[in-house]
Each structure stands twice: as structure tokens, then as C-alpha cells.
């Protein structure tokens, strides 16, 4: 009986690590000294007027070496945003200034730092494909995930 309970708990843990499902309208996202977020899928209840992403860098490297941001856009806009972000470079925060394709973006943070961003969901469609990603030094090639309004 105990073994079965442990197995069930393990399964729950594994499933939880696959996706971050928001209980409410706030989601905690982490990244460390590797090119990945701690989730590849974020879902926000469509009932949320605003969504908040609390983003924490759990690594040790400074922003200049392993900085990360959390950027949200339509999936189709990911690559164009990254391309323009590369042009902007470090001085421009790896994002084109006032890029209208960017739905939400945090500041770039380094190891031990945290930031957050809150954005309105009014302009998001339940059927549209959205992605979140990091634009620092082309991290979005591998550092990305899907975002959706659910319900
Ligand atoms: Co990054």
C-alpha cells in the first residue's frame, strides 16, 4: 500500500514537472544556468483578466553571462522578435524597442534575481498559438515553451 502511494506521488510529481497549470492567474517560472525554463507549457484560465508571471533565476551566473528574460508572443512572431532582438543586442536588452509583437516581457535577470510581469489577457485568443521564450543571445532556439488560455 505504501509503495503504491509513493508511486502515485512520483507520478504526480513527474506530471507536474511537465506543465505549469495556474491555480489562479499567477504562475511561477524558473530558469537556471542552462538554456531552459522549468516548464515547457503554461496555461492560464481564460477567466483571468490579467496574468502575472513571477520569474526567478535559480542559477549562479550573472546576467552578462547567462541572463534570461521571459517573453510572450504569438508563436509565429517568435523568430522575427528574436531576429530583431539580436540586432538590439545586450545594449537593447535583446528586444527591439517597443516591439508591438511582444505581448509581455520581463527584464533580463541573472543568478539569484527575480522579476515579474503582469499583462492583460483581453487581446489573447483561446485558439491562437502562443509561445514564451528567452531572447538573450538567441536562447529561444531551445529556451521556449507554449502558452495558452484554457477554458
Ligand atoms: Co535565456
- Structural domain spans, the chain: 19-150
Per CATH, the number for 19-150 is 2.60.40.420
- For residue 63, report the distance from its CA to the centre of ligand 1, in Å: 9
Cβ atoms of residues 121 and 50 within 8 Å: yes
Q: Decide which of 13 and 84 is more confident.
A: 84
**25: which 3 cell numbers?**
492567474
Mean pLDDT of 20-34: 85
Percentage with pLDDT > 70 across the chain: 85
- Reported as a pLDDT band with limits 50, 70 and 90, residue 19 is low
Cβ atoms of residues 101 and 73 within 8 Å: yes
- For residue 17, report the distance from its CA to the centre of ligand 1, in Å: 19
Least confident stretch, 16-25, 91-100, 105-114, 124-133? 16-25
Extended strands (E) in the chain:
20-21, 26-31, 41-45, 50-57, 71-74, 104-105, 114-120, 130-133, 144-150
- For residue 35, report the distance from its CA to the centre of ligand 1, in Å: 6
Strand 114-120 and strand 41-45: pairing?
unpaired
pLDDT in tens, 117-146: 999 999 898 889 999 999 999 999 999 999
Amino acid at each position: 500500500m505504501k509503495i503504491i502511494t509513493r508511486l502515485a506521488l512520483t507520478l504526480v510529481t513527474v506530471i507536474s514537472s511537465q506543465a505549469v497549470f495556474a491555480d489562479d492567474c499567477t504562475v511561477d517560472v524558473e530558469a537556471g544556468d542552462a538554456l531552459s525554463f522549468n516548464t515547457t507549457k503554461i496555461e492560464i484560465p481564460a477567466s483571468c483578466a490579467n496574468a502575472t508571471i513571477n520569474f526567478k533565476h535559480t542559477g549562479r551566473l550573472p546576467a552578462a553571462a547567462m541572463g534570461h528574460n521571459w517573453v510572450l508572443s504569438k508563436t509565429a512572431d517568435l523568430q522575427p522578435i528574436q531576429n530583431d532582438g539580436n540586432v538590439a543586442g545586450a545594449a537593447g536588452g535583446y528586444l527591439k524597442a517597443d516591439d508591438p509583437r511582444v505581448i509581455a516581457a520581463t527584464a533580463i535577470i541573472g543568478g539569484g534575481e527575480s522579476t515579474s510581469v503582469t499583462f492583460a489577457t483581453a487581446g489573447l485568443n483561446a485558439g491562437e498559438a502562443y509561445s514564451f521564450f528567452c531572447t538573450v543571445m538567441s536562447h529561444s532556439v531551445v529556451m521556449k515553451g507554449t502558452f495558452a488560455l484554457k477554458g
